[in-house]
Every structure is written in structure tokens, then in C-alpha cells.
């Protein structure tokens, strides 16, 4: 099964990739515009494809689909969803999104609010400044996501200045209460199967960087009404905010994966995989781990380097074992080397029975060779491969090896440069 994530460089694309990368019989393909993004650092090919805002995007996408025998396309941006579903008949792969009218409606907040104003509580929209009888108000893009481009406006003078710059923005009632995202999954035959609200804390660029599972009275009824009204299928989410009176008010609906759906993925609800199963009309069973879970998202470092190696030489004390524990990031790299069929040589001055120590930590079979040095032997004497790297906590050892052999040397803080994702 070949699945193209497009565009792969978004936070949405990253969550799809993290959800599917270890699923058996699934081959992931990454595609998107040529710009600096995280997907370029994954350990697989990135296909440069035009943005859906460019005139040749469809023909280039069709070519990529044909050449790579793509079965499914997972849209990973709101604009990509609309573009893909509008061209669904011209795309020779399954686009994992609902019907085109659903995607067009949910892309517009005014269209969404109009559709649901008699179904659930939606924000009051002011067409003219004269209609506003209380301040502050909230101004936001009609076609936006999260809190991007949205702001609280305190006075009519401030509003006039803002609307001159962005006249297409909509003016809504201000909702002062807590904001929540509700992750959902719907089956086209059975309707809503999963609905879990979570908090939106520490927001960055519209993305909830911290979130906690919560229970909200009445949220299931709201989710049922949305799912039924739009005939949603697969993964989707909506956001609500409390009014001054505490009532839950709809902010937006999105028929796609959300980046912080990782919180529920960690509980056992793999939304991208479930969406593929739903498209295949496969009956699914859902089980979420009980108990409370909280997520804190942060930046992660990934690197590209022109260093090439086939052999790894690594120290033991204070390198593989630090403060009486295995150095897990280094162990991860060493097993990455095993996957890459690179040789690993342990080279150590350990005082004591080194082999017994390796067995104690259950890593005795990890090494192709174990070299136990005497105190006066130089580590560089035992490095016999040119295409090698050397990892050691000691600056003196690294300096001696580099001066004698010229190979790249690393301390334990540098190992993350070597780790693929």
C-alpha cells in the first residue's frame, strides 16, 4: 500500500508520518514544495511537488502518482484538502478526505456558522460596525486555521484600522472562556465512533503545544450533530470555546488530521490509520487507554550531514554507560547502525571484566568486535577503517584519534547529528 503525504512538511504531515511509519505493508511517500521543512530530514526521499496554488500542481502530482503507484493521498494542509477534493475525478489515487461540499463548507467559517446556526451554538457575526453593542469583539480570517491571524479588538477605532488592512476578515462576538479541541472519528455507515476533547494550552502559531485529555458535558451531542449534518467520515476535529455564560460555542470544524492528535494516538487511537481503514470500508474496533494523559510538544533537532561512514568505533565508560544507566540516545544510534549493516567496534579501557559488564547490560551481542585496551595503548592504533567515526566522552581520546587518523570524532552530546528519523 503506497501512501503519499502531501504536503509532507506541515505539522499535520508530520503527525500522519509519525502515525504510519511503522505500519506493516505500508510504504510512505513524502511530497511538497521545495522549501526548508522537517520532512526533508526524514530518512527517505522527498518528492518536490508544486504547491496547490501553482498552475502546474495537478499535472506534477499526477506524474508522481503514476511513477510511484500511489494508492492513497493524505492531504496535510487545509488548502490542499480543498484543491485535492475538487480535482478528485482527475486524480488516480484515493484522496483521504470527505466530499467536496463538506471540505468547501468547513474551509469557510461564515459558511460553517450559517449551516449550523440552527443546530448548535455558533458565534454571533457582525456584518457592520454599527451592529456591535458590546466590546471587545474578535476578528479573524474567514479561511484560517487555529488562531492564526485572529485578534481581540477593544474599540471601534482599533477595528476600523484593522479592517482597512484586512477587509476580508470577519467580526465575531468575543468568547472569553476556555478553548478546547475535540478529536473525532466517524464511519460512513455507523456515524460517530470516537469523540475526545482536549485542552488547548501554550498555543504557538495556532498549534496547541500543550494539551490534556478532559471530559466536557454535552460535547458528545455536539459531535454527533456535526458528524450527522456533514456526513463526515474518517478523522476530523472541531474546536469550541466557552462564552461569558459558560456555554460551549463552535469555533471551527476541520475534516483532517490535527498535529496534536498525537495525544490520542499515544492512547491507542491512530487517526490516520483508522482513516485508511474507513476508506476501505473495514470495520474497526477502538480502544483508548484509560486514565489522564497530557502532551507537551516541543522542537526536535534533526540534521543532514555529508559525513559518510561504514564503521563505528565507540567507547564504553561514560559514553555507553553514563551515571549508572545506558545512554539511550547512543543505543538508538548503535541499533540504527545495525539496521544500516555498519560494523560496530567497542574500544574501551574499562577497569574490570568488560564482557561481564556487557552481559549485565544485555548488549554483549551488539558489537562486531570488542577491544579491551591496557592503560598505555592508544585507541588510534586499533582504528583500521578509513570510512569510520569515533565516539568517546574524553576530549583527549577524541583529539588523539582525530590527529592520528583524521576521521570524524564525536562526544555524547553530538550523537543526535547521526540519528535518522
Q: How do residues 358-372 score in pLDDT, each as one tens digit?
A: 999 999 999 999 999
Q: Where in the chain do CATH 3.30.470.20 domains reside?
A: 105-110+176-296
The pLDDT confidence band at residue 147, using thresholds 50, 70 and 90, is: low
Q: Where in the chain do CATH 3.40.50.1000 domains reside?
A: 311-418
Question: What digits encode the pLDDT tens for the residues 210-245?
Answer: 899 999 999 999 999 999 999 999 999 999 999 999
- What average pLDDT score do residues 377-390 get? 95
Q: Is the pLDDT of residue 206 over 80?
A: no
Superfamily of domain 311-418: HAD superfamily/HAD-like (3.40.50.1000)
Question: What digits encode the pLDDT tens for the residues 150-177?
Answer: 889 998 888 988 888 888 899 999 999 9
Q: What pLDDT does residue 259 have?
A: 92
pTM: 0.90
Q: Is the pLDDT of residue 255 over 70?
A: yes
Q: Is the pLDDT of residue 88 over 80?
A: yes
| Side-chain half-sphere CA neighbours of 358 within 13 A | 18
Question: What digits encode the pLDDT tens for the residues 288-299?
Answer: 999 899 999 888
Q: Is the pLDDT of residue 375 over 90?
A: no
Q: What pLDDT does residue 193 have?
A: 98
Q: Is the pLDDT of residue 100 over 90?
A: yes
CB contact at 8 A, 271 and 235: yes
Burial call 223-259: b when 16+ CB within 10 Å, e when fewer: beebbeebebbbbbbbbbbbbeeeebbbbbbbbbbbb
Question: DSSP code of 317?
Answer: B
Question: What digits encode the pLDDT tens for the residues 312-344?
Answer: 999 999 999 999 999 999 999 999 999 999 999
Q: Where in the chain do CATH 3.40.50.20 domains reside?
A: 2-97
Q: What percent of the chain has pLDDT over 70?
A: 99
Q: What pLDDT does residue 115 have?
A: 97
The pLDDT confidence band at residue 40, using thresholds 50, 70 and 90, is: very high
- When mean pLDDT is compared across 82-91, 127-136, 181-190, the lowest value belongs to 127-136
- What average pLDDT score do residues 386-408 get? 97
Question: What digits encode the pLDDT tens for the residues 259-280?
Answer: 999 999 999 999 999 999 999 9
- List the one residue out of 400, 326, 382, 379 whose CA is nearest residue 357: 326
Burial call 24-39: b when 16+ CB within 10 Å, e when fewer: eebebbbbbbeeebbb
Q: What is the mean pLDDT of the chain?
A: 94
What fold is seen in the domain 105-110+176-296? D-amino Acid Aminotransferase; Chain A, domain 1 (3.30.470)
CB contact at 8 A, 208 and 261: no
First to last CA, the chain: 21
DSSP H helical ranges for 69-197: 78-86, 100-107, 109-116, 156-165
CB contact at 8 A, 100 and 86: yes
Instruction: Report how far residue 2's alpha carbon sits from residue 20's, in angstroms, rounded to the nearest whole number.
Output: 11
Radius of gyration in angstroms for the set of CA atoms belonging to the chain, rounded to a whole number? 27
| Yes or no: domain 2-97 corresponds to CATH 3.40.50.20 | yes
Q: What pLDDT does residue 145 have?
A: 66
Q: What pLDDT does residue 146 have?
A: 60
User: CA distances (Å), 266 to each of 99, 288, 293, 299, 300, in order?
Assistant: 29, 9, 9, 18, 18
Q: Of 58-62, 124-128, 134-138, which has the strongest mean pLDDT?
A: 58-62
DSSP H helical ranges for 133-261: 156-165, 219-230
Amino acid at each position: 500500500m503506497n501512501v503519499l503525504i502531501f504536503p509532507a512538511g506541515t505539522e499535520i504531515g508530520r503527525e500522519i508520518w509519525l502515525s504510519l511509519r511503522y505500519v506493516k505493508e505500508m510504504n510512505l511517500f513524502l511530497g511538497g514544495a521545495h522549501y526548508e521543512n522537517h520532512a526533508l530530514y526524514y530518512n527517505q526521499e522527498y518528492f518536490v511537488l508544486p504547491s496547490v496554488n501553482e498552475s502546474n500542481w495537478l499535472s506534477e502530482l499526477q506524474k508522481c502518482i503514476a511513477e510511484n503507484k500511489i494508492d492513497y493521498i493524505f492531504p496535510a494542509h487545509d488548502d490542499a484538502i480543498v484543491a485535492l477534493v475538487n480535482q478528485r475525478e482527475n486524480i488516480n489515487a484515493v484522496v483521504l478526505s470527505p466530499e467536496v461540499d463538506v471540505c468547501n463548507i468547513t474551509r469557510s467559517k461564515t459558511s460553517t456558522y450559517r449551516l449550523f446556526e440552527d443546530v448548535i451554538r455558533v458565534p454571533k457575526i457582525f456584518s457592520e460596525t454599527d451592529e456591535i453593542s458590546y466590546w471587545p469583539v474578535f476578528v479573524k480570517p474567514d479561511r484560517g486555521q487555529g488562531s492564526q491571524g485572529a485578534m481581540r479588538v477593544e474599540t471601534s477605532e482599533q477595528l476600523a484600522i484593522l479592517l482597512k488592512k484586512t477587509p476580508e476578515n470577519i467580526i465575531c462576538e468575543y468568547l472569553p472562556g476556555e478553548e478546547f479541541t475535540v478529536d473525532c472519528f466517524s464511519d460512513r455507515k455507523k456515524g460517530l465512533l470516537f469523540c475526545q476533547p482536549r485542552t488547548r494550552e501554550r498555543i504557538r502559531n495556532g498549534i496547541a503545544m500543550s494539551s490534556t485529555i478532559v471530559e466536557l458535558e454535552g460535547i458528545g451531542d455536539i459531535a454527533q450533530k456535526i458528524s450527522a449534518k456533514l456526513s463526515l467520515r474518517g478523522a476530523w476535529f472541531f474546536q469550541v470555546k466557552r462564552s461569558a455564560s459558560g456555554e460551549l460555542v463552535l469555533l471551527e470544524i476541520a475534516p483532517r488530521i490535527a498535529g496534536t492528535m498525537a495525544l490520542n494516538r499515544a492512547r491507542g487511537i491512530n487517526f490516520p490509520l483508522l482513516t485508511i481503514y474507513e476508506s476501505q470500508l473495514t470495520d474497526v474496533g477502538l480502544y483508548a487507554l484509560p486514565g489522564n494523559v497530557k502532551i507537551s510538544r516541543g522542537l526536535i533537532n534533526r540534521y543532514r550531514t555529508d559525513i559518510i561512514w561504514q564503521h563505528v568505533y565507540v567507547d564504553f565508560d561514560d559514553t555507553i554507560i553514563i551515571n549508572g544507566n545506558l545512554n539511550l540516545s547512543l543505543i538508538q544510534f548503535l541499533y540504527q547502525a545495525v539496521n544500516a549493516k555498519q560494523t560496530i567496534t567497542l574500544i574501551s579501557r574499562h577497569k574490570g571484566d568488560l564482557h561481564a559488564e556487557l552481559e549485565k547490560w544485555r548488549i554483549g551481542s551488539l558489537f562486531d568486535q570488542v577491544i579491551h585496551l591496557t592503560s598505555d595503548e592508544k585507541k588510534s592504533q586499533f582504528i583500521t577503517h578509513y570510512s569510520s567515526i569515533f565516539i568517546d566522552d574524553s576530549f583527549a581520546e577524541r583529539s588523539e584519534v582525530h590527529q592520528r587518523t583524521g576521521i570524524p570524532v564525536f562526544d555524547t552530546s553530538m550523537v543526535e547529528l547521526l540519528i535518522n528519523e
